[in-house]
A and B are shown apart, each in its own frame.
Chain A
C-alpha cells in the first residue's frame, strides 16, 4: 500500500495524477488521504466521484453486474477509510444508481431503439439522474448486455459534451479475446454513458455552493444580524453573495484557537468588509449571550439524514439550541449530494471526537493519564432545530426531504451496505 508517489500527497496532486496512475494506486492514494483526514468535508464528494470514474474507466468489466461489484467494492474501501464522512457513501450510491439507470436505459433502447435519442434527451437534464418512473423492480439487471451499438451512440446528449469523456477511448477494455464485437461495443457505449453521468455528478458537487449562494438574498434582509457558525465555504459564498445585494451584519462564531481568534476567516472578513458588511468575530462558547441580537443563524451541514437530522460541527448544535430558545430561524446550507439515504441509528454514533491536544497538552502528563478528555468535533443535530434547508435545488422544508431522497436514490441503493 505504498502511498501515491515520491511527492507529498495532496488531493490536487492525486487528482492530477489519476490519468497516469493505475487504478489501485489511485484508490490507495485517496484512502491514504482520507485516513489522514487531509481530505475532509466537501472535498470527499469530489474525490470519491473522481476515483469511481477511474474505476469505471480503467477496470475490466463485461457485464453491468461486474461493474456494480467493482464500484461497490471500491466504494466500500473509501467509506471504510473515512466512516465519519457519510458523503462518500452518498456518491457511491449515486454512481451505483447511475449505472443501473444507464443499463436499464440500454435495455429499453434495445426494445425501442428508434426512440432512444428522445428518451436520452429527457433523462440527463437534471444533474441527478432523475428516476425514470417505470423502472424494473429490484435486482433487475442480471444478464449481460447484448445489443446493437448503433442506437447507443446517439444517446450522447449535448449536456455531456463538455464533461470528462476523454478518458474513455484510451481505456476501452474488451480488447481481450472472448467477447464478441457487438458486446464490446455496447460495453463501450455504456461506459461512456456512465462516465458522462459521473461527470455530471462531479459538476453538481462543484456547482452546489454557487447554486446555493444564488438563493442568498431570499433569506437575508437588510439590517439583519446573521450568526454564521463555523462558516463552511458554502456559507462564506452565501454571505458574500448576499453582501453584494444587502447591508447587514455578520457575527462569525469560530472555535477557540490559540493566538489570534478569527484568523481563519480573515479572507471572509476582507470580502464582506469590502462589500460594506460588518463582521464581528465571536467564539462558539456561550452563544446564548448574543442570541437576542441575532436575527438568523446559518451554518452548513456535513450530511443530512433521511429524517432531516444532520451531522454538523459541534458548535452548530449550540447555536441551534440557543436559536430555538429565542425562536430565531435556523438556516442550513447543504448540497443535495449531502443527503444521506441511510437512517440514523443513534445520534451518538455520529459524534466525532478530535485530538484534544490543543486544549490539554501532552506535557501535562498527569492530567492526560488520569482524566478522560473528549474533544467533540462533530455531532448529530436533530431535525426540529432547523427551519429551512437551502439546497442547490432551492430552499426545502423538512417534510419535503423524503421526496428529494426518493428522487436521488432508489431502494436498491438505499439498501446497499457499504463498509463493514
Chain B
C-alpha cells in the first residue's frame, strides 16, 4: 500500500495536497467553525490570520474533496491512504493552526511535514527514470518529524529507515509495540470519544511518519487495517479505559497469534518436510527458515544445508554460523554463482517470503525468484514459508516492478538495486503457513481463498 502511494508521489504532488484532509474534516469540521470565531484570539498573529484565511479556503476545498475521500475510504486499504497523507506538503501546516480549541497534544494533525523534501529529491535524482515509480526508505530526522508522533514510534521509524529492523514481521512487531505505547499514553479529549478521535488525530500521524521512514510492508498494512476496524467496533459511549484496555489486549493477542504462534506452527509444519539425509537449500537468512531447520535438527533429523547468500545482506553467513553451531553440515555460497548445480544437488528448497500477493506471487529478498526458477527447472521442490499476516488479499503484482523498494544504500550513479523480487506461482510447489490444513502445505491460491472467506479473529 505504501508502496503504491509513494510511487504516486513522483508523478503529481499537487493533487496530493488534499488527501490529508480527507480524514480530518470529518472530525475537525467543527473545530474550524468554533476556532475561527476567535476564542483563542491572543494566539493569533497577523501571519496566523493570513494562515487562517488560507485554512478556511483549504477547509472548503477539503469539504469538496470529502465526497471523494469517503469513496476512497471505502476502498479496501485504508492504511494505504494514510500513507498518502505523508505526501502532503509543508503548506498544510497552516491548516494545523486553525483548530486551537483542541488540546495542544492532540491537534488534528493534517500531515507529516516534508522538511527533508529537497534532500530526498537529491537522493531520488539518482534513480533511473524507468524505475522512478518505486519508493525508497529515507531517514527523517526526528526533530523534523510531526510533533504528534509518539517517541516510541519515532524510535521504531528510525530503526526501519536504517534497516536495523528490516524483515516484515520484525517491522510489524515493532510497529504494534510502539502503537501500544501510543494507546497507553492517549487521553481522549473532551467532547469526543476514542472511537472518533483516536484514529484520525492520533494514529494517522504515527502511520504517516512510519510510511515516510520506509514504505509500509503488507503485514503492517494488514495489522493497521485490523486495528482501525477494532477501534470502530467501540460504541461512542464506550468508556475510554475500557476501549484502551480492549485495544491493548487485541494487540497482544495479535502478536501472540499472528506472529509468535504462527512462527512456531510454520516451523513445526515445515520441519516435518525435512527428511533424513536431505540437502536443504535456502537463500539468505529468513527467520522462518532458520526456525524450521533448527526445529528439524531438534527432531533428530540428519540433513545438510546449502546456503546461497545475498552478497549485499550477508544474512546467509549468519545463518550458516547459527546452523553450524547446531551441528548441521553447511555448504555456503556467497553469491548466486553455480546456482544450477547447487539446486540439482538439493532435495528441497526452502524460501522465506516477505509477502504473498493476491495472485499468489511471492515477494522475497532480491534473488529469491532466481533460486526458485532454477530449482523448479532442476526438478527440486520449492517450499515457501510465510505467515498469513503477510498475505495481501487485494494487491496483484504483474512483476517485481509493480511493488518494490529501492535499496537506499545502493542508490547512486554507480549502482542501483531493488530490494525484492517476485516469484511466480508456478515456481512454488507449495506454501506453508500457520494454517493447519493437513501438513499446512498448500498452494498459495488455496490459502488466499481461505483468507478471503475468513473473518479475521481480531475483529470478532
Residues of A participating in the B interface, judged by any CB pair closer than 8 Å? 225, 249, 255-256, 260-263, 266, 278, 280-293, 314-315, 317-318, 321-322, 325, 347-348, 351, 353, 356, 359-360, 366-367, 370-377, 379-380
Contacts of A351 in B (CB 8 A): 338, 341
In the bound complex, residues from chain A placing their C-beta under 8 Å from that of B377 are 321
State which residues 407-430 of B face A: CB under 8 Å: 410, 412-418, 420-424
Using A286-B366, A289-B420 as known contacts, say yes or no to A317 and B331 having CB atoms under 8 A apart: no
| A374 and B370 contact, CB distance less than 8 A | no
* Contact of B216 with A by CB under 8 A: no
CB distance from A287 to the nearest CB of B (A): 7
Could you list 10 examples of A-B contacts with CB < 8 Å?
A287-B370, A289-B366, A289-B404, A289-B421, A314-B336, A314-B338, A356-B334, A360-B332, A373-B334, A379-B338
Q: Is the CB of A371 within 8 A of B324?
A: yes
- Asked whether B5 is an interface residue with its Cβ less than 8 Å from the other chain, the reply is no
B334 touches A372 (CB 8 A): no
| Nearest A residue (CB) for B311 | A256
Indicate which residue in B128, B374, B421 contacts A286 across the interface (CB closer than 8 Å): B421
B362–chain A nearest beta-carbon distance, Å:
12
Knowing A278-B128, A289-B420, A322-B370, the reply to whether A284 touches B336 (Cβ < 8 A) is: yes
Question: Are B341 and A288 touching (Cβ within 8 A)?
Answer: no
User: Chain A contacts of B423 at CB under 8 A?
Assistant: 288
B334 adjacent to A317 (CB under 8 Å): no
Q: Are A249 and B130 in contact (CB under 8 A)?
A: yes
- B323-335 vs A, CB cutoff 8 Å, 1 = contact: the mask equals 0100001111111
Say yes or no: A256 contacts B312, CB within 8 Å.
yes
Count A-B contacts at CB 8 Å.
Answer: 162
Binds A, one of B11-19, B43-51, B269-277, B393-401: B393-401
CB <8 Å contact, A318 and B332: no
Residues of B within 8 A of A293 (CB): 130-131, 401
Tell whether, in the assembled complex, residue A371 and residue B338 are in contact, meaning their CB atoms are under 8 Å apart. Answer: no
Among residues of A, the one whose C-beta sits closest to the C-beta of B307 is A371
Is the CB–CB distance between B367 and A292 below 8 Å? no
Rounded to whole angstroms, the CA-CA distance of A379 and B399 in the bound complex is: 28
Contact (Cβ within 8 A) A325 B373: yes
Could you tell me the distance between the alpha carbons of A322 and B401 in the complex, rounded to whole angstroms? 14
| In the complex, chain B residues whose CB is within 8 Å of the CB of A289 | 366, 369, 400-401, 404, 418, 420-422
State whether A261 touches B337 (Cβ < 8 A).
no
Among B329, B368, B370, point to the contact of A321 (Cβ < 8 A): B370
Check if A262 sits within 8 Å of B341, measured CB to CB. Answer: no
| Chain A CB within 10 Å, residue with most, of B336, B339, B374, B413 | B336
Chain A minimum-CB-distance residue to B417 = A283
Contacts of B96 in A (CB 8 A): none
Please give, as numbers and ranges, the residues of chain B lying within 8 Å of A315 by CB-CB distance.
336-337
Residue of A280, A289, A325, A376 ringed by the most chain B CB atoms within 10 A: A289
Whether, in the assembled complex, B321 has its beta carbon less than 8 Å from a beta carbon of chain A, the answer is: yes
Scan B295-318; emit 1 where CB is below 8 A from any A CB, else 0: 000000000000001111010010
Interface assignment of B207: CB less than 8 Å from any CB of chain A: no
Decide if B400 touches A292 in the complex (CB within 8 Å): yes
Contact across chains for B416 and A281 when beta carbons are under 8 A apart: yes
User: Among B128, B341, B368, which residue has its beta carbon within 8 angstroms of that of A280?
Assistant: B128
Q: Are A373 and B128 in contact (CB under 8 A)?
A: no
Among residues of B, the one whose C-beta sits closest to the C-beta of A257 is B311
Task: Please name the residue on chain B nearest to A273 by beta carbon.
Answer: B413
Cβ–Cβ contact A379 & B337, under 8 A: yes
Q: Are B338 and A374 in contact (CB under 8 A)?
A: yes
Q: Is B340 an interface residue (CB 8 A)?
A: yes
Q: For residues 105 through 162 of chain B, which have their beta carbon under 8 Å from a beta carbon of chain A? A: 128, 130-131
Q: Does B265 contact A (CB under 8 A)?
A: no
Report Cα–Cα, A283/B415, bound state, in Å.
Answer: 8
Most buried by A among B310, B324, B365, B414: B414
| Given the contacts A285-B312, A288-B369, A371-B320, A360 and B334 also touching, CB distance less than 8 Å | yes
List residues of chain B with CB within 8 A of the CB of A290: 400-401, 418
User: Are A262's CB and B415's CB within 8 A?
Assistant: yes
In the assembled complex, which residues on chain B have CB atoms less than 8 Å from the CB atom of A286?
310, 365-370, 417-418, 421
Verify A281–B415 contact, CB threshold 8 A: yes
With A and B bound together, what is the CA distance between A366 and B317 in angstroms?
12
Chain B contacts with A in 358-392, Cβ cutoff 8 A? 365-370, 373-374, 377
- Taking A261-B410, A286-B365, A286-B366 as given, write out 18 further A-B residue pairs in contact, using a Cβ cutoff of 8 Å, ordered by the A residue number: A283-B312, A286-B367, A286-B368, A286-B418, A288-B423, A289-B369, A289-B401, A289-B404, A314-B338, A321-B370, A322-B370, A351-B338, A371-B320, A373-B331, A375-B337, A376-B335, A379-B341, A380-B340
Of B367, B422, B424, the most chain A CB neighbours within 10 A belong to B367
Given contacts A314-B338, A315-B337, A359-B311, contact A285 B366 (CB under 8 A): yes
Taking CB atoms, residues of chain A closer than 8 Å to B337 are: 314-315, 317, 375-377, 379
